[in-house]
Chain A
């Protein structure tokens, strides 16, 4: 390591982690090459808990009202939360990354696996905030064994794409097998240098494969911000990992709860979703069966070729029998991989690689939504997105949009530089992806994301503004994740009435609403759009994954009064939180913890000039049929709805009249939903948290009140 050009060195005495907290956060300014330790205050723990809460609070204090994503003062903040690093309970090693997003201009939060967050904490830091912009590429190295943080100049020969950079960094910083096991890396890739939809890769060293694996903080362009700051990677070396590394208040509570949950996974997973064999792609066929799988840019909800890319196919492709958790002790084990995949295109053509995944979102996004039903093509796109540092969800949804524009004549080969972007054109999608890595051609326009593409197509290609706004599946500037919402009003809100933009991690209500009809009134939907987003926010405060909550469930749950809440698992999480922190909490407390951070994030959006009712609008493609083709594909359904909902006789109407009637009704219905949800959440009709609500939550901090008062 003689060629290490250390620009800044900061030494520290590593604190003992106590009850889930290291008690300090790490501040790194790559402009001034400054490193500092900042205390975690009692107020921070009480009001923000950790994870996403800490991230948002630190970011709030680091930026101005006018800060844009590429201003030096924008930060990337990463934190796991007090329970992060627990080994006994499945899914307890998540990190949450936050920044002001290039796509949305407001804070994005992305929940990601891998070893980084817990290792950072064990190294003595509850969070890291990276601010500033380096002149030349730098590596931030946090050595938790030596108690040293360095900012180092990255040598010119350091690769950028993650699958090359990871091993390069390991060779540099972790020579022994034990060091490799205790080292984790955050990186992006060349695509993130040229596109706004850049993701972060969080590494884990896979002790079975003896290789690096990566999980993605995909959403909102955090990888783009990393490369804009000229940070090549953040590397942490943990002093160790053990069953009591958090020094929990009550280890026995963690053990009893965790062992029972492992047994539940063992007993039921094989009979239920088979996460241990297929991971999240188990959903592909189910979504198709219920007409919810996005096909051809969310026009349709199913396709005859879905069996070519469903869970059975991935089960056959993924290596079986390995403990594929993204953190130690995750027996849900959904972090599968396809090993030995030979690349057929691009700069790494011919290399045999590990493809991490694919996840459901990737299969549906770059697969069915783009009309691509070829598993090899999906794997190829998956791999290149990851190593280039590109979010597969934004890529898939944006590609589906571009493909519909191509088929509608808005784009053609002249405008794409000769690339065929018909639905199903895997070669075209891959070429755009490689262009994003190289920073050239149509890939540069595409990498701006749907919202900017819409403006570009209107301005430069004469596209019909109404049409491209209707079919572009973005809200707040973020591309939709991969579920069809046309027949679930609650899920239209589940996407539209989010803080960060349309991502299903806040609420997934389609089955409750559409399939089981458990939310018949606006008030019922509003209650669900209060409870579930708050409940799911809680995972990200503490360092948990959502999947073990509801992707494997003891069938006895069906006999409980509110089976959708899965209260015996909520109880598990309560036990783990109490076991780690020593703080006794109730179920209501858990929701209140989330409400504090959720409302704070809403106010943060408002502070940055967004976060109001107008910002919660959704594209009509998510609400109802935009085109005649779409209407006619589900004509019987839509016709009967006209009779049932509006008392109209469709036989006397033209298709255009029928579509207009649907549109009026469905859009009004969405507005009524907004009214009900805002009321339930304690917000004004314009979506602003009221002072009463903030006071009740104890979130009437002077700086928060100052933002809100301007809008009341």
Chain B
């Protein structure tokens, strides 16, 4: 399966990925609506984004989360009741919410951020099982 991957050593903290992501999915440049979050702490970089682990699927009370044939975990907005159980139960802190959106959102490995990253710190990679370097549990 193809997932997003982050190389912390290459990240320069420009947050272009966040801008591109929110622009792509919400038509607005707003890091608070990005599906990836870059965090700088003590001089080192980390990123929060979905690794397609799928722990959220079982906690959804309305079957709004499921894995597609490509292995990507998708949220059906029409089914979602906005309870944010998935947000609290994501071990990676990778499900996000915003006050102007009634439903949460997550990375679906579309690759727009990887294309835009000027430092080459993000890429779409093929993995056997969901996991990714640089992701904080």
Q: Which residues of B contact A207 (CB under 8 A)?
A: 61-63
Contact B97 A259, beta carbon cutoff 8 Å: yes
Give the docked Cα–Cα distance between A439 and B83 (Å).
44
Shortest CB-to-CB span from A277 to chain B, Å, is 13
Interface residue total, chain A, C-beta cutoff 8 A: 30
> Is the C-beta of B84 less than 8 angstroms from some C-beta in chain A?
yes
Give the docked Cα–Cα distance between A331 and B84 (Å).
10
Interface string of A648-688 (1 = CB under 8 A from B): 00000000000000000000000000000000000000000
A88-B82, A242-B81 are known contacts. Are A266 and B88 too (CB-CB below 8 A)? yes
> Is the C-beta of A410 less than 8 angstroms from some C-beta in chain B?
no
Give the docked Cα–Cα distance between A442 and B37 (Å).
68
Interface string of A108-126 (1 = CB under 8 A from B): 0000000000000000000
Contact A323 B59, beta carbon cutoff 8 Å: yes
Q: Which residues of A contact B103 (CB under 8 A)?
A: 243
Q: Which residues of B contact A88 (CB under 8 A)?
A: 82-84
> Is the C-beta of B51 less than 8 angstroms from some C-beta in chain A?
no
Give the docked Cα–Cα distance between A322 and B82 (Å).
18
A259-B87, A262-B87 are known contacts. Are A208 and B63 too (CB-CB below 8 A)? yes
> Is the C-beta of B85 less than 8 angstroms from some C-beta in chain A?
yes
Contact A263 B61, beta carbon cutoff 8 Å: no
Contact A329 B99, beta carbon cutoff 8 Å: no
Main secondary structure of the interface of A (DSSP, over half): loop
> Is the C-beta of A63 less than 8 angstroms from some C-beta in chain B?
no
Contact B99 A328, beta carbon cutoff 8 Å: no
A207-B63, A243-B103 are known contacts. Are A328 and B83 too (CB-CB below 8 A)? yes
> Is the C-beta of A479 less than 8 angstroms from some C-beta in chain B?
no
Contact A258 B84, beta carbon cutoff 8 Å: yes
Contact B81 A87, beta carbon cutoff 8 Å: yes
Give the docked Cα–Cα distance between A322 and B89 (Å).
14
> Is the C-beta of A260 less than 8 angstroms from some C-beta in chain B?
yes
Contact B102 A242, beta carbon cutoff 8 Å: yes
Give chain A interface residues in 317-343, CB to chain B under 8 Å. 321-323, 325, 328-331
Interface residue total, chain B, C-beta cutoff 8 A: 20
Give the docked Cα–Cα distance between A242 and B81 (Å).
4
Contact B82 A243, beta carbon cutoff 8 Å: yes
Contacting residue for A329 out of B58, B84, B98, CB 8 A: B84
Main secondary structure of the interface of B (DSSP, over half): loop
Contact B88 A241, beta carbon cutoff 8 Å: no
Contact A266 B89, beta carbon cutoff 8 Å: yes
Interface string of B61-100 (1 = CB under 8 A from A): 1110000000000000000111111011100000001110
Q: Which residues of A contact B102 (CB under 8 A)?
A: 242-244, 251
Q: Which residues of B contact A263 (CB under 8 A)?
A: 87-89
Give the docked Cα–Cα distance between A208 and B83 (Å).
16
Q: Which residues of A contact B84 (CB under 8 A)?
A: 87-88, 243, 255, 258-259, 262, 329
Q: Which residues of A contact B60 (CB under 8 A)?
A: 323
Give the docked Cα–Cα distance between A207 and B89 (Å).
19
Give the docked Cα–Cα distance between A321 and B61 (Å).
11
Shortest CB-to-CB span from A333 to chain B, Å, is 8
Contacting residue for A323 out of B80, B85, B87, CB 8 A: B85
Give the docked Cα–Cα distance between A307 and B80 (Å).
40
> Is the C-beta of A261 less than 8 angstroms from some C-beta in chain B?
yes
Give the docked Cα–Cα distance between A258 and B99 (Å).
12
> Is the C-beta of A96 less than 8 angstroms from some C-beta in chain B?
no
Q: List the A residue with the shortest CB-CB distance to B79.
A: A207
Shortest CB-to-CB span from B41 to chain A, Å, is 19
Q: List the A residue with the shortest CB-CB distance to B99.
A: A252
A255-B97, A262-B87 are known contacts. Are A331 and B82 too (CB-CB below 8 A)? no
Contact B61 A323, beta carbon cutoff 8 Å: yes
Shortest CB-to-CB span from A149 to chain B, Å, is 25
> Is the C-beta of A222 less than 8 angstroms from some C-beta in chain B?
no
Give chain A interface residues in 216-275, CB to chain B under 8 Å. 241-244, 250-252, 255, 258-266
Interface centre among B58, B62, B63, B85 (most CB of A within 10 A): B85
Give chain B interface residues in 17-60, CB to chain A under 8 Å. 58-60
Give the docked Cα–Cα distance between A251 and B98 (Å).
9
Contact B58 A323, beta carbon cutoff 8 Å: yes
Q: Which residues of A contact B82 (CB under 8 A)?
A: 87-88, 242-244, 255
Shortest CB-to-CB span from A200 to chain B, Å, is 23
Shortest CB-to-CB span from B31 to chain A, Å, is 16
Q: List the B residue with the shortest CB-CB distance to A321.
A: B58
Contact B85 A262, beta carbon cutoff 8 Å: yes
Shortest CB-to-CB span from B69 to chain A, Å, is 22
Give the docked Cα–Cα distance between A261 and B85 (Å).
9
A87-B83, A242-B102, A244-B82 are known contacts. Are A331 and B63 too (CB-CB below 8 A)? no
Shortest CB-to-CB span from A275 to chain B, Å, is 14
Interface centre among A252, A260, A265, A331 (most CB of B within 10 A): A331
Q: List the A residue with the shortest CB-CB distance to B86.
A: A262
Contact B63 A251, beta carbon cutoff 8 Å: no
Q: List the A residue with the shortest CB-CB distance to B103.
A: A243
Known contacts A207-B61, A262-B84, A263-B89; 5 additional CB pairs below 8 A are A207-B63, A255-B82, A258-B88, A259-B97, A262-B89
- Provide 30 A-B residue pairs closer than 8 Å at the C-beta atoms, listed in order of the A residue: A87-B83, A87-B84, A88-B84, A207-B61, A207-B63, A208-B63, A241-B81, A242-B81, A242-B102, A243-B80, A243-B81, A243-B102, A251-B99, A258-B83, A258-B84, A259-B87, A259-B97, A262-B84, A262-B87, A262-B89, A263-B89, A266-B89, A322-B58, A323-B59, A323-B85, A325-B61, A328-B81, A328-B83, A331-B85, A331-B89
Which residues of B are interface residues toward A (Cβ below 8 A)? 58-63, 80-85, 87-89, 97-99, 102-103
